Every structure is written in C-alpha cells, then in structure tokens.
Amino acid sequence: MREIVFDTETTGLDFADDRIIEIGGIELWNHIPTGREYHCFIRPEGRKVDPSAFDIHGISDEFLRDKPVFGEIVEDFAAFFDGARLIAHNAAFDVRFLNAELGRLGRPAIEPGLVIDTLPMARRKFPMAPATLDALCSRFSIDTTKRDKHGALVDSELLAQVYIELIGGRQSALRLVTDADGLDERGVALAAIRIPPRPVPLAPRLTAAEREAHAGFVATLGPDSLWSKLLTPPPVEAAR
C-alpha cells in the first residue's frame, strides 16, 4: 500500500484567496519510508505572504520571486501524489488549499476517501492531551532539533514518524526493520530480522497420560488415517 505523508505552507489562512507556497511529501510503502520524497517552492500569483504566516514558516516574497507557479509544477505534483493514500495533520486545511489550486487549473479535486487526518487520530488515542505536531513528536521522543520553523518537507518527515507511531509503531506490519536490511528498487526493506532457532527445544507440556490417550484415539482411526501415518516412524534401512 502506497501512502504519501504531506504538508503545505501558504501565504495565509484563507484558501479562497491565499496561495500555496511550499509542498513537501514523503512516500511510505506498507507504512515503511521508501526514501522517495517530493518538495517544491511555489510563487503565489498575485498574492503576498502575510506577515503572520511569515512568522511561522519564514518564507519571504523575495525568496519566492524566481520560483515556478503552481501550474508549472502541477504535473510533477500529480505524478508523485496520484494513486496514493494521503496523510496530513489537520488535513482539511491542506486539502482545501490544494483543491483550490487544482480548481484554478480546471483539474479534479482530491477525493476525500483518499485522505487520512492524523489530528483526530491523535485526539482519539490521547484524549484531552495536546495534539499538535510538536506535542506528538515530544510524546513519541521524535527528534525535532533540525526544525527551527515550519517547513513542508521537514514537517512531512516528522509527521511520517508520528503517523507510524499512531498506527502502532514499526511493528504494525509484524516486521522489525533495521538500517542494515536490504532494499529493493523502491527503497523498501526486503527482509525482517530473522530469529534463530532455540539451542535447546522447550520441554513437552503433554503428560504421559495425555500422550497415551491420544495414541489410543489415533488407533481407532485405522492404519490408513493421516494421524496414524504421522505417528508411525519411518522404517529403518538395513545396514549395508
């Protein structure tokens, strides 16, 4: 199952008038990061960055001056995001902005059924506790030292770790993956940790009476029954 954990940064809070200025996405395959990512800055046509938004993400109008507009990156965006389940924190905010940008180009909106919002997931799992991305990173001991301001790609990387913890951690797929595991062409781990056999088998838990009762039952099934064949030891070849 392919998933994209993503985030956006915008010029402000009004999706009808404000514009997306940054998109970041991290690809997961069966809840495991593949190493593939998407990231771009976007020049907001006819819109300036609101000072309150700049205080959050630090992206200035001057920095965005030579960046492509949304229509110039939409094909690359679609190629990376299409066909995946989309994961975001407070997803309604990001999806409204993306749908507004797509609508301006006459492209179809993102299907609601493809979107998973980690904010209500966190609130259900930890009722009455703070559910911001920072609070969840702190709860799960996720390192945030490289994040001094909000950024779409770094927030996607952090959210991917939070999302995996919210659904049960790295063992949710009954796998234990290490950095030393081999990777296929998508960067997905090929092997789980292999547990060696016990050096000494565990002692049998059946009593002698239980084994005798079972043997008596199998005898009633006849010599051609599967149980009779399994319990009959193979013939010993004569020494040559």
CATH label of the domain that carries residue 19: 3.30.420.10
Neighbours of 116 (CB within 10 A): 17
User: What would the pLDDT profile of 19-73 be if each residue is shown by its tens digit?
Assistant: 999 999 999 999 999 999 999 999 999 899 999 999 999 999 999 999 999 999 9
Note whether residue 60 is domain-resident: yes
Note whether residue 103 is domain-resident: yes
User: What would the pLDDT profile of 127-164 be if each residue is shown by its tens digit?
Assistant: 999 999 999 999 999 999 887 778 899 999 999 999 99
Radius of gyration of the chain (CA): 28
Note whether residue 240 is domain-resident: no
In a shared domain, residues 214 and 167: no
Note whether residue 31 is domain-resident: yes
Q: How far apart are CA 116 and CA 136, in angstroms?
A: 17
Reference 40, options 9, 3, 84, 1; nearest CA is 9
How many domains does the chain fold into?
A: 2
Average pLDDT, the chain: 86
In a shared domain, residues 217 and 154: no
Please name the amino acid found at residue 48: K
Q: 8-22, 39-53, 110-124, 195-209: which range is least confident on average?
A: 195-209
In a shared domain, residues 164 and 98: yes
Average pLDDT over residues 170-199: 50
| pLDDT-above-70 percentage for the chain | 84
Neighbours of 164 (CB within 10 A): 21
Note whether residue 42 is domain-resident: yes
Which domain does 24 fall in, by range? Answer: 2-173
Between 50 and 199, the higher pLDDT residue? 50
Q: What predicted TM-score, i.e. pTM, was given to this entire model?
A: 0.70
Domain final position from 125, 152, 173: 173
Is pLDDT of 86 > 70?
yes
Q: How far apart are CA 115 and CA 163, in angstroms?
A: 13
Catalytic residue positions, numbered: 150
Note whether residue 186 is domain-resident: no
| Confidence band, pLDDT 50/70/90 cuts, at residue 235 | low
Compute the Cα dihedral for 189, 24, 168, 141 and give only its sign.
Answer: positive
